[in-house]
Amino acid sequence: MDTVSLSGKELAAAINADTKQRAAALTASGTAPRLALIVANDDPASAWYVNSLRKAAERLGIACDTIELGADASTERIRDELTARSADSAVDAIMLQTPLPAGVTLDDVSSAIAAGKDVDGVSPLSLGLLASGLDGFVPATSEAVVELLKHHEIQLAGRHVAVVGRSNIVGKPLAQLLLAENATVTICHSRTTDLPAVTSAADIVVAAAGRIGLVTGKHIREGATVIDVGTNEAPDGKIVGDVAAETVRGKAAALSPVPGGVGPVTTALLMRHVVTAAENSRSA
């Protein structure tokens, strides 16, 4: 079986073209949209992603302030920074990059992000709006998975999707988005008994656990669609996913690559969220 590559580059380009036009209109009418990117780690994969966000913002006409708090920043220090940026009228959007320092959880600090600026949808309020089916910013990576599947015309309604990973950043919000598309969703995690048996029963498998090579050919059935959300640093320094791609090709009908699959779409959606937040702020 030939495995189709589910590239996200074409979709990301289309989203970016619209975002750039909207950002230019905001700039022409006053000031450019502004994103505050808060970083409190020294993780290589995170640094790679932050750099890609900065470059994307620059290309699209979005001002991006990167605030490095250090990998030893305390809960109080991070909350204070988020609170200050939330109150700053010059800042339209806030993103808190993960991972966070040891002993600090997203639950500890995310509530300090104002909902109208929470462009990655990580605060309890944003997640609650999503779970309730109400308007708010959706976690961009989760949204990117759904948008990538739609772009490649992969049906979701009535399909069984197994999501490997239950984080508040990807797994749980993705389940909500898939349910809204009328998919049947199973969330798998570290306590799932016989993971291959669960995932191989699904039409679509989404790997979002943050472990290199976790999903292999034995985890999927013939003809399944596989979406790889992972961005992990391999021993050779390359960014790789959660799927052992070489064991999946030839068995899966379709597979998203890493890099070049979910990643570009996630970044494009985040930038679109920033512009939307700026538009909402200007019209308030």
The reply, when asked if residue 22 is annotated as ligand binding, is no
Helix, coil or strand: residue 35: strand
Specify whether the CB–CB gap between 193 and 236 falls below 8 A: no
Secondary structure of residue 207 in the 3-state scheme: strand
Q: Residues 239, 45: contact at Cβ < 8 Å? A: yes
Q: Which residue has the tokens 């040891």?
A: 102
Rounded mean pLDDT of 118-125?
A: 96
> 54: annotated binding-site residue?
no
Whether 3 has a binding-site annotation, put simply, is no
167 is in an annotated binding site: yes
- The encoded tokens of residue 242 equal 């959660």
Identity (one letter) of the amino acid at 239?
I
pLDDT digits 0-9 by tens, 13-47: 999 999 999 999 999 999 999 999 999 999 887 88
Short-list 185, 236, 183, 192, CA closest to 214: 192
Distance CA 265, CA 93 (A): 18
For residues 95 and 277, what is the distance between their CA atoms, to the nearest angstrom? Answer: 12
* pLDDT recorded at residue 131: 93
Summarised one tens digit per residue, pLDDT across range 182-239 is: 999 999 998 999 999 999 999 999 999 999 999 999 999 999 999 999 988 888 988 8
**Separation of alpha carbons 3 and 254, rounded Å:** 5
Query: pTM score, two decimals?
Result: 0.95
User: Could you tell me the two tokens for 191?
Assistant: 């306590």
Q: What is the average pLDDT across 163-189?
A: 96
Quick one: DSSP state of residue 83?
Answer: H
3-state helix, strand, coil in the chain (%, to 5): 45, 15, 40
> Is the peptide bond preceding residue 259 cis, with omega within 30 degrees of 0?
yes
